[in-house]
Chain A
Amino acid sequence: EVQLVESGGGLVQPGGSLRLSCAASGFTFSSHWMHWVRQAPGKGLVWVLRISTDGSGTTYADSVKGRFTISRDNAKNTLYLQMNSLRAEDTAVYYCVRGIKGTSVAFDIWGQGTMVTVSS
């Protein structure tokens, strides 16, 4: 079964750090771009970052540039999100998402999400 399982969410104080992980299974992880998409409570989806198949290319939304870092370990089939200098507005469910294979742009597999709460 194709699956993405996030972990690492929790409560953190403003200015703090958190590292999310996403374990992939059931597909060739190294063949897909991977993304993080977040959703604040009661709000819509927001794309945050993406990483290329080999980890050499990344793209960040302006709201997280300089604070968040996306990385991957293809040997471990795992995607990571290092979040530093966290702010209250970063509070959201963070979804690990698989990019569709090929030349198209879409998100075909979503994890169940992990909640990050930034509050004192």
Chain B
Amino acid sequence: QSALTQPRSVSGSPGQSVTISCTGTSSDVGAYNYVSWYQQHPGKAPKFMIYDVSKRPSGVPDRFSGSKSGNTASLTISGLQAEDEADYYCHSYAGSYTFGVFGGGTKLTVL
């Protein structure tokens, strides 16, 4: 199972919006609405941000939103803040035998 494809890095200024893409195949992202996103600050454990493509767990700001079109999922962060600077990973379910796969991760820099 190959990793989902994410851009290595994205950047934006405070207050702006950025979108991180996550491209898979018709066997994972395109087949299931079980895409989730995680935020990881340096030296810390990942934090759960989005599930089922676009649902936000309690406590996650509504500045974070998710979507999907075909084999590509996206995470959009609006109103960028300095604390949003982190690595972001997507994950997709890929069936009961292989279970799932993460993206390679995207480093978000807030300029």
User: Inside 8 A of A80's CB, which chain B residues have their CB?
Assistant: none
A38 to B103, CA, bound (A): 13
A106 adjacent to B3 (CB under 8 Å)? no
B96 adjacent to A45 (CB under 8 Å)? no
Q: Which of A46, A105, A110 has the most CB of B within 10 A?
A: A105
User: For this complex, into which size category does the number of interface residues on chain B fall?
Assistant: 20 to 34
Chain B residue nearest to A63 (CB atoms) is B1
User: Inside 8 A of A113's CB, which chain B residues have their CB?
Assistant: 45
B99 adjacent to A107 (CB under 8 Å)? no
B residues near A (Cβ < 8 Å) are 1, 3, 32, 34, 36, 38, 40, 45-48, 51-52, 57, 89, 91, 93, 96-105
A residues near B (Cβ < 8 Å) are 37, 44-47, 50, 59, 61-62, 95, 100, 104-113
